[in-house]
Amino acid sequence: MARIIAGVGSSHVPAIGAALDNGRTEEPYWKRVFSGFEKSQEWMRETKPDVAIIVYNDHASAFSVEMIPTFALGCAAEFPPADEGWGPRPVPVVQGHPALASHIAQSVILDEFDLTICNKMEVDHGMTVPMNLLFGKVDKSAHWPCPVIPLAVNVVMYPPPTGHRCYMLGRAIRKAVESYPDDLRVVIFGTGGLSHQISGPRAGLINSKWDKHFLDNLSKDPQKLAKIPHIDYMREAGAEGIEMVMWLIMRGALDDKVDEVYRFYTVPASNTAVGHIILENRAKVASKGAAKHKPAAAKHKRAAARAKVDRIHS
């Protein structure tokens, strides 16, 4: 059966993509951001997922204001990078996993999550920037290391889905993945945030205390995060910071108990607080068809995982 083995939370600031595309990663400002993802890329190379599900939002690229789906699942075989006004980003076309994607659609819709299905869709920086941060720079003519299933969430028009709805959708996705017959190891990304406001006279708002609290509780008490009302996100984390609800889909798709194996936080990238976390399910299967872990070994592993946790940079 397929299994979700880990979750990744990551900001998707467009300027990070621009810095990468324009060869500015060595500038001190950007080095501060990119260096926080070096260990994550190592982790990703070791983890080698068979598929990634990436929860993100479109920024007036694939969806204008003509149609605003709350949850849109990409079931296509491929997703070209969108032209966001400066030409498409120089990254490879994203290969999908139509079989698993349509299986997920069928499963979660019957679980009462009424997804929109996208059989043709372009993807913007909301998805490709976190891919670069975790997979590294990939030449346009090469391939991303694994197929990706995009899940676009409306967080542009208020109201986005509630945090609780997102969390429960994550759970439904977990159930869907686990009922897929092929032996696939899946990593799920929640992207966006952390605190930022880019619109209006209050633009520039950052709330590091809020962000740290959010990151802390992803492993400790995600149920508490799932109860945060929209007004609190907007007041505390900025009008656009509300996109943090997307991380709760990632979190809901993981087991109740997870190990935080890595964290990074820095302010700012452009107008945004950059947050990043890697959470592993404890019963992680090291390789395809591996035997169940022994409790003692798991305990040891958890201790090792905790030791690996990097302290917050701020």
Q: Mark the segment that binds other proteins (CB under 8 A) among 108-116, 136-144, 230-238, 249-257.
A: 230-238
Contact (Cβ atoms closer than 8 angstroms) between residue 55 and residue 135:
no
Taking the least distance from each CB to other proteins, the nearer of 173 and 242 is 242
Structure tokens at 114: 């009424």
* Cβ closest to other proteins, residue 95 vs residue 270: 270
Q: Using CA of residue 128, residue 129, residue 132, residue 137, what is the dihedral sign?
A: positive
Q: Of the candidates 158, 157, 234, which has an alpha carbon nearest to the alpha carbon of residue 197?
A: 234
Count how many residues are written for the chain: 314
Out of 196, 213, 230, 276, pick the active-site residue: 196
Q: Is 65 in the site for other proteins (CB under 8 A)?
A: yes
Minimum distance between the CB of residue 240 and other proteins, rounded to whole angstroms?
7
At position 234, the amino acid (one-letter code) is M
Number of residues near other proteins (by CB under 8 A): 60
Of the residues 31, 45, 120, 202, which one makes contact with other proteins according to CB under 8 A: 202
Indicate whether 66 belongs to the interface with other proteins (CB under 8 A).
yes
85 binds other proteins (CB under 8 A): yes
Q: Is 196 a residue of the active site?
A: yes
Closest CB to other proteins among residues 181, 200: 200
Q: Is the distance from CB of 163 to CB of 249 less than 8 angstroms?
A: no
Spatial strand order in the sheet of 272-281: 116-118, 71-74, 148-153, 51-56, 185-191, 3-10, 272-281, 258-269
Site stretch for other proteins (CB under 8 A), options 102-110, 115-123, 218-226, 249-257: 218-226
Of the candidate spans 1-9, 128-136, 142-150, 227-235, the one that interacts with other proteins by CB under 8 A turns out to be: 227-235
CB of 205 to other proteins, least distance (A): 5
Nearer to other proteins, 77 or 312 (CB): 312
Calculate the alpha carbon distances from 31 to 22, 37, 172, 274, 285 in Å. 13, 10, 38, 13, 34
- Determine which residue in the list 78, 111, 216, 255 makes contact with other proteins, applying CB under 8 A: 216
R_g of the chain computed on alpha carbons: 18
Count CB-CB contacts under 10 A for residue 60: 12
How far apart are CB 100 and other proteins at their closest, in Å? 30
Beta bridge partners of 258: 281
Residue 154 CB, shortest distance to other proteins, in Å, is 10
Q: Which is nearer to other proteins, 95 or 271 (CB)?
A: 271
Answer yes or no whether residue 220 interacts with other proteins by CB under 8 A.
Answer: yes
Question: What is the residue-wise DSSP string for 27-87?
Answer: SHHHHHHHGGGHHHHHHHHHH--SEEEEEE---SSS--SS---SEEEE-SSEEPBPB-SS-
Where in the sequence numbering do the catalytic residues fall? 125, 196
State the residues that interact with other proteins by CB under 8 A.
15, 59-60, 64-66, 68, 83-86, 156-159, 195-210, 213, 216-217, 219-221, 223-225, 227-232, 234-236, 239-240, 260, 267-268, 270-271, 273, 306, 309, 311
